[in-house]
Amino acid sequence: MNRSRIRQAVERMRAYTPGEQPQEPGFIKLNTNENPYPPTPAIREALERPPDRLRLYPDPLCQELRRELARLHGCRAEQVFVGNGSDEVLALCVRAFVERDGTIGFFDPSYSLYPVLAAAEEIAVRPVPLKPDFTWDMPAGYAASLFFLTTPNAPTALQYPRETVRSFCAGFDGVVVLDEAYVDFAREHFMDMALEFGHVLVARSLSKSYSLAGLRVGYVVGAEPLIAAMYKIKDSYNVDRLAQEIALAAIRDQAHMRANAARIRATRERAAAALRTRGFEVGPSEANFLWARPSRPAARDLYEALRARKILVRYFPGERTGAHLRVTIGTDGEMDALLRALDEIGAG
């Protein structure tokens, strides 16, 4: 019998392609927007405690962590949902807020997970193409049930102006998720919009600025009815006990995160200037990566040439993205190694 037992939508859809995590050692990883510096040493206490407590299930509602996040953002714990990475948070937004005959919007290019989340739920997408300079004009009469607005955007690194974002939120009829995964590297954030509007959520991640990509913790802030709906459908214990403890320690050490982000911003500005000097077109970045367009060799060839020298950057094939490379900001030493490799290759 040759009958597939897999849902047709799942058979048809393409999976999300994560950035390469090499299995061999020795690569300089500038491809997945991880933080090159360690997380706060305050997490060591949680890691060193005897493991006996792991016999017990974690708090299914992450209450202590939510209270801490609520203090940080000046809201109530009931306005915070904590998930297994912000990826889980985004998936739950789709499941909680979009009917099967609804639509999901996002900019093209932006985070390539959004269409995958829609496809898995058999929900139609209405992407909005960004202009050649990667800014946007919403098409007249545009509507969707949910819009993922990535700000700063990935992979372009651009932060959209506050008034543009605010007026989009004010005029939009569906749910808006402001995906602020990179916001700690930006000049400002839009958390106030989640506290002002009943249909706007702000999603954050501990993966980038808190150096905890391996932990898998993200959260979203917004109006209580939306947050309560997400709690109805999440997995019973979606954030494990160690993750809750470590995230709590990390959130409590804002000074460490801020100092780390400032260091990365300084390296970012130096690296952007060095790339521009070599002839790359590099837009302003409000994130922990650069969106850089080489004139020679072509972006794909440069990606391959760097890979051959054990330096990984991210290449996204496609009409809107294929002329650029996304380069994560590493340590100063790693960025110097990148620049030396570019000079050897003759890239610019």
Binding site for ligand PLP (CB under 6 A): 33, 85-87, 111, 150, 154, 179, 181, 205, 207, 213, 218
70 conformational bin, left if phi > 0, alpha if psi -120 to 50, beta if neither? alpha
C-beta closer to ligand PLP: residue 179 or 286? 179
Tell me the closest approach of the beta carbon of residue 177 to ligand PLP, in angstroms.
Answer: 10
C-beta closer to ligand PLP: residue 205 or 211? 205
Whether a cis peptide bond, with omega within 30° of 0, leads into 129 is no
C-beta closer to ligand PLP: residue 291 or 347? 291
Q: How far is CA 87 from the centre of its chain?
A: 8
C-beta closer to ligand PLP: residue 154 or 272? 154
CA atoms within 13 A on the CB side of 12: 9
Q: Which two tokens stand for residue 60?
A: 């299914």
- Give the largest CA-CA distance in the chain: 63
Tell me the closest approach of the beta carbon of residue 128 to ligand PLP, in angstroms.
Answer: 16
SS3 label, residue 302: helix
Q: What are phi and psi of 328, to 5 degrees?
A: -70, 145
Tell me the closest approach of the beta carbon of residue 179 to ligand PLP, in angstroms.
Answer: 5
Q: DSSP for 111-160?
A: -TTHHHHHHHTT-EEEEEEPPTTS---PPTT---SEEEEESS-TTT-PPP
277 conformational bin, left if phi > 0, alpha if psi -120 to 50, beta if neither? alpha
Tell me the closest approach of the beta carbon of residue 204 to ligand PLP, in angstroms.
Answer: 8
Residue type, position 324, single letter: H
Tell me the closest approach of the beta carbon of residue 63 to ligand PLP, in angstroms.
Answer: 20
- Cβ of 226: how many Cβ atoms within 10 Å? 22
Whose CA is closest to 257, among 335, 332, 205?
205
Tell me the closest approach of the beta carbon of residue 154 to ligand PLP, in angstroms.
Answer: 4
C-beta closer to ligand PLP: residue 303 or 341? 303
The helices-and-strands tally (H runs, E runs) of the chain is 12, 12
C-beta closer to ligand PLP: residue 168 or 289? 289
- The answer to whether 292 and 284 are in contact (CB under 8 A) is no
Tell me the closest approach of the beta carbon of residue 213 to ligand PLP, in angstroms.
Answer: 6
C-beta closer to ligand PLP: residue 79 or 205? 205
C-beta closer to ligand PLP: residue 327 or 341? 327
Tell me the closest approach of the beta carbon of residue 77 to ligand PLP, in angstroms.
Answer: 20
